[in-house]
Amino acid sequence: MSVTVRVPAKVNVQLAVGGARPDGFHELANVFLAVGLYDEVTATESTALEVVVEGRDADRVPADSSNLAARAATALAHRLGREPTVRLRLVKDIPVAGGMAGGSADAAGALLACDALWGAGLSRTELLGICAELGSDVPFSLVGGAALGRGRGERLTTLEVGGPLHWVFAVADGGLSTPEVYRECDRLRDASGQGAGVADVPEPQASPALLAALASGDAPALAGLLDNDLQPAALSLRPSLRRTLETGREAGALAGLVSGSGPTCAFLVADAEAGRTVAAALESSGHCRTARHTLSPAEGARLLTAPSR
């Protein structure tokens, strides 16, 4: 018996990062938007927990119990009082360690797939609770669309979202470590004299103007408001991303920013034709490995197949 789930990538149209909390996480106002790049997770009954990874950059993804998808299956199995006897096949299309929540997508996908495979029938609230334990971005991967994440990003409020919006993603060679990017953000704040603690940094707030532009699908308005507090840290760790951002803007993107903790750069473009132009310019520039044109919003984790024998 096996079940396949498709799960989208995300871009953060606003990532407001507050101070470092005593638990090491940062308080966020995180405006998530799901975009049409997808991983697929197939769960098949097996005698033990196995992970197989295929697709783009599969060799950079751990194919063992440390994989977040395997941890999702294990968490659900514990909840159900059973063994996680499942083979998880991950087919990657979301950039690996790219700031687009690919690992979180695989975890949300594995959770939904195992829930169906094992006939558990957990409620959405129960699934979201397990997602939040697995990682800050995992709940959003389950719900998709657009949402504001508070706390460390796991407390979601669904947002109205217009569209379609056209995006180009410039995929870099190699990834960036999310904890390292947050640490660099703290270091830059300390070095500027501001300080990096909760008392030093204003409480992060979502921009009402940005939420209005997102709700109406107004690409030019949204372009002027895209904002990522992790961008200076990502650029500090990977200065070559400046050239990537310049290349996309010069080729006609409405705006560009680092996606989440990077190093993928996201460009909002006016339409499909601009998407093709910007993607072609980025690919021929040599300032990224590949460029992908896609649309938002995208729906969250979804069963592609009913459980089948």
**Which residue, 115 or 137, is less far from ligand C5P as judged by CB?**
137
**Which residue, 17 or 266, is less far from ligand C5P as judged by CB?**
17
Which is the catalytic residue, given 39, 115, 137, 186?
A: 137
**Which residue, 87 or 150, is less far from ligand C5P as judged by CB?**
150
**Residue 152: CB minimum distance to ligand C5P, A:** 3
Determine the 3-state secondary structure of 110 from DSSP.
Answer: helix
10 in catalytic set:
yes
Supply 75's token pair: 């968490």
- Nearest alpha-carbon partner for 217 in 267, 273, 161, 257: 161
Supply 204's token pair: 């992060």
* Alpha carbon distances (Å) from 137 to 28, 128, 147, 166, 307: 11, 11, 11, 22, 26
**Which residue, 25 or 85, is less far from ligand C5P as judged by CB?**
25
Distance CA 121, CA 98 (A): 32
Site residues (vs ligand C5P, CB under 6 A):
24-26, 28, 135-137, 152-153, 178-179, 182
137 in catalytic set:
yes
**Residue 143: CB minimum distance to ligand C5P, A:** 16
Which is the catalytic residue, given 10, 39, 115, 186?
A: 10
Give me the helices (H) in the chain, please.
Answer: 68-80, 102-117, 124-134, 138-143, 178-191, 208-216, 219-223, 231-237, 241-250, 272-285
User: How, if at all, do strands 165-171 and 265-269 pair?
Assistant: antiparallel
Distance CA 225, CA 13 (A): 8
**Residue 132: CB minimum distance to ligand C5P, A:** 9
**Residue 22: CB minimum distance to ligand C5P, A:** 12
Distance CA 260, CA 94 (A): 14
**Residue 43: CB minimum distance to ligand C5P, A:** 22
**Which residue, 139 or 275, is less far from ligand C5P as judged by CB?**
139
| CB distance 108 to 142 below 8 Å | yes
- Nearest alpha-carbon partner for 6 in 32, 37, 39, 35: 39
Scored b (16 or more CB within 10 A) or e, 272-289 reads eebbebbbebbbebebbe
**Residue 178: CB minimum distance to ligand C5P, A:** 4
**Which residue, 89 or 152, is less far from ligand C5P as judged by CB?**
152
239: Cβ–Cβ under 8 A, 6 or more apart, which residues?
Answer: none
- The set of catalytic residues is 10, 137
